[in-house]
Amino acid sequence: MKEMKLVPLVLIVFLFVRHGTFASFTPVDNYLIACGSSKNVTFQGRVFVPDSEHSSLVLKIDNSSIASSNSSVPSPIYQSARVFLGISSYKFGIEQKGRHWLRLYFYALPKSGQSLKSALMSVVTDNFVLLNNFAFNSYNGSYMSKEYAINVTSNTLTLTFIPLNNSIAFINAIEVVSIPDEVLPDQALSLNPTAPFSGLSELALETVYRLNMGGPLLTAQNDTLGRTWENDVKYLHVNSSAVNVSVNPANIKYLTSVTPETAPNLVYASAEMMGNANVPAVNFNITWVFTVDRNFTYFVRVHFCDIASKSLNTLVFNLFINDDTALPSLDLSSITNDLSVPYYKDFVSNSSVDSDTLTVSVGPDTMADTTNATINGLEIMKISNKFRSLDGRFSVESLLPSSTSKNINIRIMVGSIVGAVAAVVVIVLCCCFLVARKSKTTQQRQHPWLPLPLYGNSQTMTKIVSMIDGGNSGTDDDGEDAATSAVFSQLVNPRGR
Ligand SMILES: *[C@@H]1O[C@H](CO)[C@@H](O)[C@H](O)[C@H]1NC(C)=O
Ligand SMILES: *[C@@H]1O[C@H](CO)[C@@H](O)[C@H](O)[C@H]1NC(C)=O
Ligand SMILES: *[C@@H]1O[C@H](CO)[C@@H](O)[C@H](O)[C@H]1NC(C)=O
Ligand SMILES: *[C@@H]1O[C@H](CO)[C@@H](O)[C@H](O)[C@H]1NC(C)=O
Ligand SMILES: *[C@@H]1O[C@H](CO)[C@@H](O)[C@H](O)[C@H]1NC(C)=O
Ligand SMILES: *[C@@H]1O[C@H](CO)[C@@H](O)[C@H](O)[C@H]1NC(C)=O
Ligand SMILES: *[C@@H]1O[C@H](CO)[C@@H](O)[C@H](O)[C@H]1NC(C)=O
Ligand SMILES: *[C@@H]1O[C@H](CO)[C@@H](O)[C@H](O)[C@H]1NC(C)=O
Ligand SMILES: *[C@@H]1O[C@H](CO)[C@@H](O)[C@H](O)[C@H]1NC(C)=O
Ligand SMILES: *[C@@H]1O[C@H](CO)[C@@H](O)[C@H](O)[C@H]1NC(C)=O
Ligand SMILES: *[C@@H]1O[C@H](CO)[C@@H](O)[C@H](O)[C@H]1NC(C)=O
Ligand SMILES: *[C@@H]1O[C@H](CO)[C@@H](O)[C@H](O)[C@H]1NC(C)=O
């Protein structure tokens, strides 16, 4: 009898624990950095730590300063900034390889020594160009936040700021946060022509739009992955074409393939559906219009959840991306076998033909029992181009033609040449001294001894330079020290080996 009672109790405990672990995703890598700040900054419920105090973060800065302001800033994260006068990097230790959010926050602080508004900069990772030639002077706004999803395949992620045209670069805050592997796929469906698109995992993505259709603004406090979801109304082609519907978020039933990491239940608990567009025909599309860069391809994720139907298989509709049919005659209940169950689908698309817009539409299926259509969430992400860039047609290599390691090589080469010349001078002086002592008796001309030491030294120098060039790529300061001491020991004993 006792045992029989225990079973449900154990089950309940098990379910509770499972639910508990399920609901609280904790990223392995979780850098929240307040650049140039002297104190912790709390933003959207999360604590950002000063860049100077973070233990597993390396700063490689030639010359930087700090800007800060006590006057009102758009959000606490913008109170301070680190300002770079030369190419500078942050190097993040990565514990878990795979996709990471890389979020950057910029605000041209009004009260600061340098004019941050005229800063002209590029920002790159190890492999991808994130921002190129960016200046607030030519940007419509005084602050900007950017979100990228980068697959990190090594143990570090280096973020480099490049001031251009003798200008400066700056950054207010940085996030580097793990994304669960299952959230972003390697494949999606490419439209026009319809074909599978694979290889996304090797490309960089930049979030350009993320919408909670028919619902409120959601921030990092409402999303386990720290994402922001905005309301869709300002992108509607015709305001009255849509009406919002919403239910209690607790009604959303996650099944195996979709989790709160895909999107929070607050996204699925609201939707836009067909309104009264004051058009004679009841058959119309609801269309959202987005400005995009026509030189890029976009990843489009559409979230659905039938929260309005009273019974299964009554709502059947079409999804279009631009003028292409993305999902014809979509009957959500035939896929999910229930109402209020989330579902999403991924596509790859360009802008509309010859335009800088991308449109997403839903409209009723003519064969359906009811004339209606629904959509709950929408994410549009720019895909990096063949230059591995998300901004323009330049690669990381072309923006950093002499990489940091090459700069170090040049410094060592200059150093070793100076050292070699000094050594030659010392040897020449020693020889002079010896020759002078000898010449007291022999009175020889100086020529015979000169060619030999000079030849010997120049040979040593060529050896050193090629050694440094070949063996010092991807060096850090330790490598530089080692190479320098190697050079030094060779020069001290030029005829050794
Ligand atoms: C800042 O935040 C970090 C991480 O939450 C914490 O370990 C540290 O004690 C905080 N520092 C201060 C001065 O509050
Ligand atoms: C940093 O740059 C400023 C302005 O160009 C200059 O005055 C200062 O001497 C530099 N500091 C170092 C350590 O290079
Ligand atoms: C901000 O306020 C603190 C103390 O109130 C002061 O020490 C600091 O100089 C101020 N900073 C600026 C940039 O005004
Ligand atoms: C800049 O913003 C203003 C006001 O928000 C808007 O009217 C204008 O069209 C924008 N310009 C550009 C180039 O986006
Ligand atoms: C950078 O400087 C060059 C030469 O002064 C100028 O032609 C170019 O327009 C500048 N670039 C920007 C983006 O201001
Ligand atoms: C990241 O890239 C590696 C190597 O291309 C790949 O094996 C891995 O599946 C990718 N991870 C994700 C989450 O896309
Ligand atoms: C939903 O629609 C109502 C009526 O038009 C409007 O007042 C409300 O702001 C909308 N809610 C959202 C989240 O868009
Ligand atoms: C988002 O989270 C904040 C903080 O917990 C809360 O105040 C707010 O109501 C939440 N938004 C929604 C739509 O639930
Ligand atoms: C449509 O909605 C947006 C956002 O609420 C508003 O700014 C705009 O004026 C509306 N347009 C019309 C025609 O009602
Ligand atoms: C679509 O469904 C919603 C929610 O039930 C309803 O408010 C709206 O009027 C319907 N639209 C049409 C065109 O029937
Ligand atoms: C697209 O690329 C072309 C050719 O490189 C360039 O002229 C144009 O400015 C680019 N468009 C945008 C929106 O950047
Ligand atoms: C909805 O949009 C698609 C794609 O542009 C178009 O083919 C279709 O005719 C539209 N449906 C209605 C009812 O306007």
Q: Which residues line ligand 8 (CB under 6 A)?
A: 216, 221-222, 266
Dihedral sign computed on CA atoms, order 353, 354, 355, 356 = positive
256 compared with 400, residue with greater pLDDT: 400
Tell whether pTM > 0.85: no
Average pLDDT over residues 435-445: 46
DSSP 302: E
Q: Count the Cβ atoms, other than its own, within 10 Å of residue 458.
A: 12
Read off the pLDDT of residues 92-117 as tens digits, 9 standing for 90 and up.
Answer: 999 999 999 999 999 998 766 667 88
Residue from 132, 162, 165, 166 whose mutation best tests the ligand 5 pocket (most atoms within 8 A of CB): 165
Residues 87, 119, single domain; the answer is yes
pLDDT of residue 283: 86
Query: What pLDDT does residue 282 have?
Result: 77
Count structural domains, the chain: 4
Question: Buried (b) or exposed (e) across 295-310, using 16+ Cβ within 10 A?
Answer: ebbbbbbbbbbbbbbe
Band (280; pLDDT cuts 50, 70, 90)? low
Q: Residues for the chain: how many in total?
A: 497
Assess whether 362 and 220 both reside in one domain.
yes
Pocket around ligand 11 at a 6 A CB cut-off: 293, 295, 393
From 340, 372, 374, 376, the mutation candidate for ligand 10 (largest count of ligand atoms within 8 A of CB) is 372
Backbone angles phi, psi at 486, to 5 degrees: -60, -45
Say if residue 340 is in the same domain as residue 487. Answer: no
- Domain end, chosen from 383, 414, 436, is at 383
* Local confidence band at 428 (pLDDT 50, 70, 90 cut-offs): low
- For CA atoms 201, 207, 208, 210, give the dihedral sign: positive
What's the gap in Å between 48 CA and the centre of ligand 1? 9
Q: Are residues 354 and 414 in the same domain?
A: no
Q: What is the dihedral of CA 305, 310, 314, 318, to 10 degrees?
A: -30
Q: How far is CA 439 from CA 371, 375, 447, 449, in A?
A: 111, 98, 12, 12
Distance between Cα 272 and ligand 10 center (Å): 9
Residue given tokens 């109304």 in the structure block: 233
Atom in ligand 10 nearest the alpha carbon of residue 373:
1
Residue 274 Cα to ligand 10 midpoint, Å, equals: 6
Structure tokens at 272: 């836009």
Segment (H or E) for 6: helix 2-23
The residue type at 102 = L
**Is residue 142 one of the residues assigned to a domain?**
yes
pLDDT score of 224: 95
One domain for residues 226 and 352: yes
Instruction: Give me ligand 12 centre to Cα 266, in Å.
Output: 29
Residue 193: asked if its preceding bond is cis (omega within 30°), the reply is yes
Give residue 434's pLDDT. Answer: 54
363 and 415 fall within a common domain:
no
**Closest among 256, 250, 241, 285 to 268, alpha carbons compared:** 250
Could you tell me whether strands 357-364 and 343-349 are parallel, antiparallel, or unpaired per DSSP bridges?
unpaired
Contact 85, 98 (CB under 8 A): no
CATH number of the domain residue 379 falls in: 2.60.120.430
Is residue 185 assigned to a domain?
A: no
How does the average pLDDT of the chain come out, rounded? 80
**Are 169 and 284 contained in the same domain?**
no
Contact 133 CB / ligand 5 (< 6 Å): yes
Each residue's pLDDT tens digit, 35-89: 999 999 999 999 999 998 887 778 887 678 888 887 788 899 999 999 999 999 9
Percent of the chain residues past pLDDT 90, beyond the cut: 63
**109 and 239 fall within a common domain:** no
When pLDDT is averaged across residues 128-140 and rounded to a whole number, the result is 94
- For ligand 1, say whether the CB of 47 is within 6 Å of any of its atoms: yes
301-315 pLDDT, tens digit each: 999 999 999 999 999
Angle formed by the axes of helices 404-442 and 451-471, nearest 10°: 170
Q: Do 308 and 280 lie in a common domain?
A: yes
Which numbered atom of ligand 6 lies nearest the CA of 185? 14
Q: Does the structure show a pLDDT above 60 at 293?
A: yes
- Segment 332-351 mean pLDDT: 96
Residue 200 lies in a domain: no
> In this predicted model, what pLDDT tens digit does every residue of 211-258 receive, in sequence order?
999 999 999 999 999 999 999 999 999 999 999 999 999 999 998 789
Task: Kindly tell me if the per-residue pLDDT of 490 is higher than 50.
Answer: no
Q: Domain range holding 421?
A: 404-447
Whether residues 288 and 379 fall in one domain: yes
Q: Are residues 66 and 133 in the same domain?
A: yes
